[in-house]
């Protein structure tokens, strides 16, 4: 178990009180803290060595190092498909259990949610296909579907409401959809959408769907023989339909939003760690890198620097923050990691070293008339104005405009393994293994849920165009745009021969909590 405090504090606490009283200048405390720092390192090494013996993600404490997971997978003969460290640990930790329950609904849902890190609503394709009724068909009791009583056979109109009848004609007298239910009730399904737990069941199986084609549409159709994809080929006995909500990206529901100013408000420092080393100031989201990571939003305009435009006047390192308004840097250099910025402005000139280094970031627009930029795994929703740009594995949805009238503008910009707009001027731009293929986003407006997340309709050259074969852009680190492909690839090992899984992104799932709360 991890000690409640550092060893330096513990050593100082067990020293007799008389010596602590005499330590007016703090020399004794500093001496013991120096000795405790070495003990802290030793303890952390022993704790990590213990964690390296187990491939799963513990409830608390460190997990095994990422480079060890493939070795554990080889021992269990588990095929790793997810690029996410936490998902890869789950693939190893559940390998035996998944193999024992291969082909069952529980395992299919567990695999999809563990590998894709998405909440899944599962439908079996054979239950969505219209069939011819025949005498002697066994019907599961209606109470197993959550109905309060059995449908009386003496009244044909009521008997026709039995949920398992293979009726293909819709009953226009009522609506079919998700309604609230109690935990443990027959037919109840549990879900968690945007960290909100909901319990629901399907009502009126033969009625008109409230959301045609959505997760709560259980109407029967004729066979669809087309190749399955997110929009077709769903109604077939050999399909497993997995409905998932679009990934939230940098804008999950309920994310905290604070102000950034001088002095820093208490709400800001509670969520963001602020540290200074030399002339470098760091603002680090405390939840970044943890299972409960949530981006911290900044509501106001922010200006960093003293206004001199001197690139050597300090440096700023920001991680895990979302700037919903303008971020201006009037001096010093800026480094961003897993950040989103609506408007980014950099003043001052520097022809040698990039003023901005960004990785895994979503940017609305960037204006740096005299400064060089270095971007890696970034998505730009708008225009980018700079004299020189060095970009790798990025997506540009707006034009790259070259600043004029500065000597630095004579140097060519370079794009490698990136996507640029088709009408991008070629002058002063060197392109290496990049593409201008179409990009489709779930949402293109900055600040909206799923902004910048790649839709499955995006061309494969973008979805798998990065140097490592994964998706380009801001969500490369989270694999948000290719989560569906990862799920179907993994499920191919756990489905019966001939069965196929289809991942369907369904925005109606985002309304599930509101729908079941009022019984709609």
Model pLDDT for residues 298-355, shown as the tens digit of each residue: 999 999 987 776 767 789 999 999 999 999 998 888 999 999 999 999 987 776 788 8
pLDDT, residue 188, reads 86
Per-residue tokens: 272:
């963001």
Residue-wise pLDDT tens digits, 365-377: 999 988 889 999 9
pLDDT, residue 262, reads 80
The residue that leads in pLDDT, 420 or 155, is 420
User: What average pLDDT does the segment 126-141 reach?
Assistant: 81
On the question of pLDDT at 494 being above 80, the answer is yes
User: What average pLDDT does the segment 439-446 reach?
Assistant: 95
Q: Can you give the residue ranges of every domain in the chain?
A: 7-51, 120-247+488-517, 257-463
Please state whether the predicted TM-score (pTM) of the whole model is above 0.75: yes
The per-residue DSSP string of 378-415 comes to: EEESS-EEES-EEEES-EESS-EEEP-SSGGGGSPEEE
pLDDT, residue 226, reads 92
Per-residue tokens: 31:
């001496």
For 311: left if phi > 0, alpha if psi spans -120 to 50, otherwise beta; the answer is alpha
Per-residue tokens: 185:
């009730």
pLDDT, residue 425, reads 85
Cis peptide before 263 (omega within 30 of 0): yes
């Amino acid at each position: 178990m991890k000690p409640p405090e550092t060893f330096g504090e513990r050593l100082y606490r067990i020293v007799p009180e008389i010596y602590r009283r005499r330590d007016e200048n703090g020399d004794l405390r500093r001496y013991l803290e120096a000795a405790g720092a070495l003990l802290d390192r030793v303890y952390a090494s022993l704790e990590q060595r213990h964690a390296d013996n187990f491939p799963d993600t513990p409830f608390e404490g460190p997990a095994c190092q990422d480079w060890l997971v493939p070795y554990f997978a080889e021992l269990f003969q588990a095929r790793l498909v997810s690029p996410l460290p936490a998902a890869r640990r789950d693939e190893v930790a559940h390998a035996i259990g998944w193999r024992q329950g291969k082909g069952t609904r529980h395992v299919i849902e567990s695999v999809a949610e563990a590998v894709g890190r998405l909440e899944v609503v599962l439908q079996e394709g054979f239950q969505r296909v219209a069939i011819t009724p025949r005498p002697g068909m066994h019907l599961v009791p209606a109470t197993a579907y959550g109905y309060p009583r059995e449908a009386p056979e003496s009244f044909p109109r009521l008997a026709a409401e039995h949920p398992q009848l293979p009726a293909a004609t819709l009953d226009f007298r009522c609506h079919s959809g998700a309604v609230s239910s109690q935990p443990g009730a027959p037919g109840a399904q549990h879900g968690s959408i945007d960290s909100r737990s909901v319990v629901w069941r399907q009502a009126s199986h033969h009625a008109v769907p409230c959301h045609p084609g959505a997760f709560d549409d259980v109407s029967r159709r004729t066979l669809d023989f087309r190749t399955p994809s997110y929009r077709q080929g769903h109604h077939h006995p050999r399909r497993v339909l997995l409905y998932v909500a679009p990934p939230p990206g940098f804008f999950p529901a309920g994310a905290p939003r604070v102000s950034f100013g001088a002095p820093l408000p208490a709400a800001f420092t509670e969520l963001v760690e602020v540290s200074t080393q030399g002339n470098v100031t760091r603002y680090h989201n405390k939840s970044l890198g943890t299972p409960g990571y949530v981006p911290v939003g900044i509501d106001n305009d922010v200006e960093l620097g003293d206004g001199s435009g001197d690139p050597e006047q300090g440096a700023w390192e920001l991680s895990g923050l979302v700037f919903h308004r303008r971020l201006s840097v009037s001096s010093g250099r800026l480094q961003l990691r897993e950040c989103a910025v609506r408007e980014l402005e950099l003043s001052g000139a520097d022809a040698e070293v990039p003023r901005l280094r960004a990785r895994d970031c979503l940017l609305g627009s960037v204006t740096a008339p005299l400064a060089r930029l270095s971007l890696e795994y970034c998505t730009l929703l708008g225009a980018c104005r700079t004299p020189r740009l060095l970009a790798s594995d990025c997506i540009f949805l707006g034009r790259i405009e070259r600043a004029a009238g500065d000597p630095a503008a004579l140097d060519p910009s370079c794009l490698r393994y990136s996507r640029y707009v088709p009408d991008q001027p070629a002058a002063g731009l060197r392109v290496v293994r990049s593409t201008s293929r179409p990009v489709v986003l779930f949402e293109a407006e900055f600040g909206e849920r799923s902004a910048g997340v790649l839709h499955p309709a995006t061309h494969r050259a973008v979805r798998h165009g990065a140097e490592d074969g994964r998706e380009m852009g801001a969500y490369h680190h989270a694999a948000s745009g290719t989560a569906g492909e990862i799920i179907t690839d993994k499920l191919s090992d756990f489905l019966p021969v001939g069965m196929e899984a289809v991942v369907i992104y369904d925005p109606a799932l985002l309304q599930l909590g509101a729908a079941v709360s009022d019984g709609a």
